[in-house]
Structure 1
Amino acid sequence: MTIIADPVWPVLVLAAIQYVDAAMCARPVDAVRRCLDDVHAPPLVRRLLTPIKLAAGTGLLLGLVVPYLGVLTCAALVAYFAIAVGMHLRARDLRRNFRNAVGLGVLSGLVSLCYL
């Protein structure tokens, strides 16, 4: 198995962030629950967050050996965080969680460069 991404550490960091975030969404901690309440996230969205984040972390790791999958996963994360930014803007919630969504969206785009 040949690892193709270079450097590898940004991919591993973003994958770890996704896995930790998935765990925090599985049984939402107060900060996650407040964030979802602030943006008026519907129940379906709340239920889908954990599997989406688990899939993202797995896609990033599998992308280390199948680069196009890593790039696709990063593109999906950029879209995911763009939606999150939009939800924060719509709710006029420009606090910490808005900045986190912007930062993680940018990070996801930058990590895609590791696969190219």
Structure 2
Amino acid sequence: MISTPDPWWPTALLAVALFSDAVVSVRPPAFIQQCLHGVGFPREWWWTLIVVKLLAAAGLVAGLRYAGVGVTANAAVIAYFVCAAYAHYRAGFLKQEFWLNCLGMLALSTAVLLLSYTSTL
């Protein structure tokens, strides 16, 4: 069974990054608005991304204590950013926001999974 993350701090860092992203997305700055418009994500659905990021952060934090929860949340975060990358690719919106934000978070979440959970498998 997959236990809690070891080391724990990369998972905590990813949780803080997702929580911060959710908080910033409440009143999204221009670069986030451009990104969402660029991929054609409807404005009336923007709130769902905040909910997803908050739930992901909560899952990662819960996973620091409860076995299996963190790795599941981490895998879901990776899936989220894979879907976001596909949305960017499909829309042809491959500007700086894609490379820095989307792929950056995908790389971070993948690195956290590998660093924190491969030693527990």
Pairwise TM-score range, normalised by the shorter structure: 0.7 to 0.9
Q: Does 1:109 align with 2:110?
A: yes
| TM-score with structure 2 setting the length | 0.84
Contact 1:70 1:112 in 2 (8 A): no
Q: SS state of the match for residue 67, structure 1?
A: coil
1:21-40 mapped onto 2 (5 Å cutoff): 21-40=21-40
Q: SS state of the match for residue 68, structure 2?
A: helix
Contact 2:16 2:57 in 1 (8 A): yes
- Give the Å deviation of 1:44: 5.0
Contiguous gaps of at least 5 residues in structure 1: none
Task: Name which of structure 1's ranges 97-106 and 54-63 shifts more when overlaid on structure 2.
Answer: 97-106
**1:93 match:** 93
State, as a whole percentage, how many aligned pairs show the same letter. 37
Q: SS state of the match for residue 65, structure 2?
A: coil
| TM-score with structure 1 setting the length | 0.87
1:1-116 mapped onto 2 (5 Å cutoff): 4-43=4-43, 45-99=45-99, 100-113=101-114, 114-115=116-117, 116=120
Distance 1:12 1:56 in 2: 12
Contact 2:15 2:60 in 1 (8 A): yes
1:1-41 CA-partner distances (Å, limit 9, x unpaired): xx942212211211111011001111222221111011111
Q: Relative to 1, partners in 2 of residues 1:45 and 1:83: Cα closer, same or farther, differing over 3 Å? A: farther
Tell me the C-alpha RMSD between the 2 structures. Answer: 1.7
Tell me the number of residue pairs that the alignment of Structure 1 and Structure 2 aligns: 114
Distance 1:25 1:41 in 2: 14
Q: Relative to 1, partners in 2 of residues 1:45 and 1:86: Cα closer, same or farther, differing over 3 Å? A: farther
